[in-house]
Structure 1
Amino acid sequence: MTMTGQCLCGAVSYTIEGDLQMCGVCHCKNCQRQAGSSYSVLFAVADEQIVIEGVLTTYDDHADSGNVVHRHFCGICGSPVKTSLPTQPGVTFIKAGTLDDTSVLHPQIHFWTGSKQPWVEIDSDVPQIEGNPG
């Protein structure tokens, strides 16, 4: 399978070859702030599956665990595009909203649900992790 995506202005684009490793919804406060919404939908691919064109700016964030979270975004339009974690080498987490065709996405898990907005309802059939999934 080939998937493509881009930031809002199109200055950063990507192509992914192969299947997704996972798709999840993060409810941590930092993802809420970065997304400007109640959560962030993301999916994981192996680094070798993705080719990114354009220049990403990186903000080094810190998770509640103290671990570094590299948040990569378009320096022109500000769209968050990907996240990388030194604790999970070889994996790239792509922000789902940047995918051109989101019909392939089916979130399999919700994590950091201890921080979710109280009005967000999660299907009881979907696994939930209250805190750090790692």
Structure 2
Amino acid sequence: MKLLTGGCLCGEIRYEISADPGPSRVCWCRDCQRIASNGTVNVLFPSNAIRITGTPSGHDKKADSGNLVTRRFCATCGSHLFSDSTGRPGLTVVRIGTLDDPSAIKPSTNIWVASAPHWACVDQSLERFDGPPAAAAPAKT
């Protein structure tokens, strides 16, 4: 296991992750498109393996899946960092682009592809779900 680090654009929020990554996905749901103007690239980690310095703001919304999702972001620069879902207790989504080394994790799956715009660059070599993904197993800490 390699220690992963990351943070927001302005540096007010930093984090360290001390666990192996779980599933990594490109999400094309409409909520992710709204926060990123594109699909978002995400990876799951056990929530208790993430140490955050700084205090992210949060926004709660019911997702297309029916789960309540809390998206956490920097109130100063607006960088979207994490999200937690009632459908994945104990797991936190980390936006791969906020890692100090975003190449450290490669997505393996496209999800909610049926919601992607016609111009989306969907990697055909990755596993694909037109809607939500199969259930994720927790990563080991």
Shorter-chain TM-score: which interval? Answer: over 0.9
What are the equivalent positions in structure 2 for 1:21-100 lying under 5 Å apart?
A: 21-35=22-36, 37-100=37-100
> How big is each residue's C-alpha offset from its partner over 1:4-43, in whole Å with a ceiling of 9 and x where there is no partner?
00001111110011210111100011101011x2100011
Letter in 2 for 1:101: D
Q: When the two structures are superposed, what TM-score results if normalisation uses the length of structure 2?
A: 0.89
Letter in 1 for 2:96: A
Q: Tell me the distance in 2 between the aligned counterparts of 1:95 and 1:103.
A: 12
Q: Tell me the distance in 2 between the aligned counterparts of 1:94 and 1:87.
A: 16
Q: Answer 1 or 2: which has greater strand percent.
A: 1
Partner SS, residue 97 of structure 1: helix
Structure 1 moving runs of 4+ over 3 Å: none
Q: When the two structures are superposed, what TM-score results if normalisation uses the length of structure 1?
A: 0.93
Match of 2:138 in 1: none
Partner SS, residue 33 of structure 2: helix
Partner SS, residue 9 of structure 1: coil
Q: Percent identity?
A: 38
What are the equivalent positions in structure 2 for 1:102-113 lying under 5 Å apart?
A: 102-113=102-113
Could you tell me which runs of 5 or more consecutive residues in structure 2 were left unpaired when the two chains were aligned. Answer: 136-141
Partner SS, residue 34 of structure 2: helix
Partner SS, residue 21 of structure 2: coil
Alpha-carbon RMSD across the aligned residues, in angstroms, is 1.2
- TM-fit CA distance, 1:122: 2.6
